[in-house]
């Protein structure tokens, strides 16, 4: 059985991760607080060749996790990682998140006050990873 999401959908039964180029809206970001929900959502992302994204409760706060390694698409270029890192830094500076970890293909943002805010942030970073990947695929580097 899946873990309930907003609007009654479940991470494991009703919602699959989108295909590449199709970011999830906040209401469909899986809640992977329970390990089995995390495994199911991660497996679904790999099966659907999509960037994995989830929110999870940590005590009274929330975290956001994204992992592009579940997708066979091109790697996230260094320039894109810099853009994502700047956005994460801005969230830390405004105390929206307390901890941020950005690496090529992986993002973790922790200690977010509410589930809704975590979902909004997760959806924004998910869309950004898709968009930056598409942009850097369409516009080759001048190296």
Higher pLDDT, 71 or 141: 71
pLDDT of res. 115: 97
Reference 37, options 59, 18, 14; nearest CA is: 14
Higher pLDDT, 133 or 2: 133
Token pair recorded at residue 37? 């929900």
**Helix, coil or strand: residue 85:** helix
Distance CA 124, CA 20 (A): 15
Mean of the per-residue pLDDT values of the chain: 85
Q: pTM of the predicted model, to two decimals?
A: 0.82
Reading across the β-sheet that carries 52-58, which strands appear in turn? 52-58, 61-67, 106-112, 99-103
Reference 61, options 111, 118, 119, 95; nearest CA is: 111
**Average pLDDT of the segment spanning 107-122:** 97
pLDDT of res. 56: 98
pLDDT of res. 78: 83
Q: How confident is the model at residue 91 (pLDDT cuts 50, 70, 90)?
A: very high
Are 61 and 111 a contacting pair, CB within 8 Å?
Answer: yes
- Helices and strands: H and E segment counts in the chain: 3, 4
């Amino acid at each position: 059985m899946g873990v309930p999401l907003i609007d009654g959908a479940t991470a494991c039964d009703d919602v699959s991760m989108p295909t590449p180029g199709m970011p999830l809206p906040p209401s469909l970001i899986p809640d992977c607080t329970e390990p089995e929900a995390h495994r199911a959502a991660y497996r679904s992302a790999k099966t659907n060749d999509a960037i994995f994204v989830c929110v999870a409760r940590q005590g009274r706060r929330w975290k956001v996790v994204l992992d592009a390694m579940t997708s066979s698409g091109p790697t996230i270029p260094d320039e894109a990682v810099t853009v994502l890192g700047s956005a994460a830094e801005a969230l830390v500076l405004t105390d929206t998140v307390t901890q941020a970890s950005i690496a090529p293909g992986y993002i973790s943002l922790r200690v977010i006050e509410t589930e809704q805010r975590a979902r909004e942030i997760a959806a924004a970073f998910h869309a950004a990873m898709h968009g930056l990947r598409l942009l850097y695929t369409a516009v080759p580097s001048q190296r």
